[in-house]
Every structure is written in structure tokens, then in C-alpha cells.
Amino acid sequence: MAELMISEKSGPSDLAPIAIAVNQILGLPVTLRSRELPGVRVEGGEVVDDGYTGPVLEEVMASGVAEKTVPKSGVYKGIPVSVAPIFDREGGVIAAMGVVDVVGTIDIPSVFGAYTEVVKEVSGKR
């Protein structure tokens, strides 16, 4: 029986299948690393870095709290990301996974402001 398990010592080859699956589902860049070893950065269904770590992954592993932020350094500097810790059965952080936060890249007021104007125009309710 095939089995996939991760731990605080999981390396890139252990983490890649999970990160690739999430990348394929979301279509967004995904990063995943364990507490003790660098991990992977996946884009376009491919591992583009198999020794990856990032400042937000590190912060989330240290705090144990999910974070949505814009990194000040690293590969995704200036790009909104969302990162969450992965816990073991005892509640300890064993890894962290991050994705580019596509919602954080959208200027919501301008998108929905334009949308309401289009709806008014199309419906003739100007």
C-alpha cells in the first residue's frame, strides 16, 4: 500500500506531491516546507525550486498562526501571499504551506465600482 506522510523532517521529495496537487487545483504558485528542512516552490505544475524557504513560511512556523501579508523580501517580495501552518496530532507545527493570494492582488473597489456602473447601464436604470 502506497502512503504519503509528512513530518517536521520531510524534505522536498516528500512535500512535492502535495504542493503540486494544490498548485494544479488552484492554478497559483505554492510553497511548502517542513520545520527542519527547506521545501519546494511549485509554479505551473512543476517544482521550480527544491531547496525553498521564504520569510513568511518561517514566520508562520514560528508563530503557528496563519498569515495574509505582502513579503518585504524573498521570491514573492511585494506580492500578496497567504500562508498557513500544518500541525501534527499533538498540535505542534511541522510545516507551512503558502499560496499567492490572488484576492489580495485585486483592487476590489475599482472592480466592483465598475461592475455596478455596467449593470446600471445594461439594465437601463441610470
**Can you spell out the DSSP letters for the chain?**
-------TT--HHHHHHHHHHHHHHH-S-EEEEESSS-EEEEETTEEEEEEE--HHHHHHHHH---EEE--SSSTTTTS-EEEEEEE-TTS-EEEEEEEE-GGGGS-HHHHHHHHHHHHHHHHT--
Q: Residue 4: what pLDDT?
A: 86
The grid coordinates listed for 50 are 527544491
CA distance 32 to 94: 11
Q: Residue 111: what pLDDT?
A: 63
CB 2 within 8 A of CB 88: no
Question: Mean pLDDT per 10-residue run, the chain (126 residues)?
Answer: 90 97 96 98 97 96 96 94 96 97 69 65 64
The residue to which cell 494544479 is assigned: 24
Distance of CA 28 to the CA centre of its chain: 8
Q: Residue 16: what pLDDT?
A: 97
Q: Residue 107: what pLDDT?
A: 64
CB 27 within 8 A of CB 21: no
Q: Residue 2: what pLDDT?
A: 81
Q: Residue 102: what pLDDT?
A: 77
Q: What domains sit in the chain, N to C, each tagged with a CATH number?
A: 12-123 (3.30.450.20)
Q: Residue 84: what pLDDT?
A: 98
The grid coordinates listed for 47 are 517544482
